Amino acid sequence: EAGVTQFPSHSVIEKGQTVTLRCDPISGHDNLYWYRRVMGKEIKFLLHFVKESKQDESGMPNNRFLAERTGGTYSTLKVQPAELEDSGVYFCASDTTGRGGYTFGSGTRLTVV
Amino acid sequence: GNSVTQMEGPVTLSEEAFLTINCTYTATGYPSLFWYVQYPGEGLQLLLKATKADDKGSNKGFEATYRKETTSFHLEKGSVQVSDSAVYFCALPVYNQGGKLIFGQGTELSVKP
């Protein structure tokens, strides 16, 4: 089966611009998660979708971040406007069980300059 | 709440050396425990897991034993290879929050020939 796909793999944008990251989960996986790793620190949870619904968005840092999952398939994470501290690697994961141990995508490395 | 503390890196070893990366946790209940690995330029991969006390997870020569008495899940490998150079993350689910994971800060391993 195809794995979790994320794109772009890299994005460099200027402060104040908008960027949209996309995640295509494994087909049939209802659970979709977003995480990020900033500045070589620990990986932190951003949010969790079950199908098209936001189950938990407690990790979203502020209202500059907007995640959607239309139709319960792929998801997008938009950052608008981007700030320097948003730089990092954004990971997406999906699974069927909702119990951890899931498959991650390769991540999107976002650099805000 | 659940938390995980991981040995700081970077760790530099010579090929064929023995590897231990320490991970300790605090948890409500008895969650599954995971080790993830991120090879250079790639995404996060599940390396191994253990689902209950005294379980030993193993994969690619790596092992970790779920120790309830010491609340530890140390990662070990008897003889590392250059290809094991990567960042290793210990992780566990947040109690009763549907698959949301808490990660350690990551330990960068560099293996020299």
Binned at pLDDT 50, 70 and 90, residue B1 comes out as confident
Residues A66-99 pLDDT 10s: 999 988 899 999 999 999 999 999 999 999 887 7
Residue indicated by tokens 């929050």: B97
- Report chain A residues whose CB lies below 8 A from the CB of B93: 99-100
CA dist., res. B88 & res. B81, Å (int): 15
**Contact check, Cβ <8 Å, A99/B99:** yes
The average pLDDT across A37-50 equals 91
Question: For position A101, what pLDDT does the model report?
Answer: 83
pLDDT at B98 over 80: no
CB B32 within 8 A of CB B51: yes
First to last CA, chain A: 37
Binned at pLDDT 50, 70 and 90, residue B97 comes out as confident
**Contact check, Cβ <8 Å, A48/B100:** yes
Residues B8-66 pLDDT 10s: 889 999 999 999 999 999 998 889 999 999 998 888 999 999 999 999 999 999 999 99
Closest Cα in chain A to B106: A42
CA dist., res. A66 & res. A76, Å (int): 8
Å between B104 CA and nearest CA of chain A: 6
Question: For position B41, what pLDDT does the model report?
Answer: 83
pLDDT at B77 over 80: yes
CB-based contacts of B42, cutoff 8 Å, min separation 6: A106
Question: For position A1, what pLDDT does the model report?
Answer: 64
CB proximity B110 to A under 8 Å: no
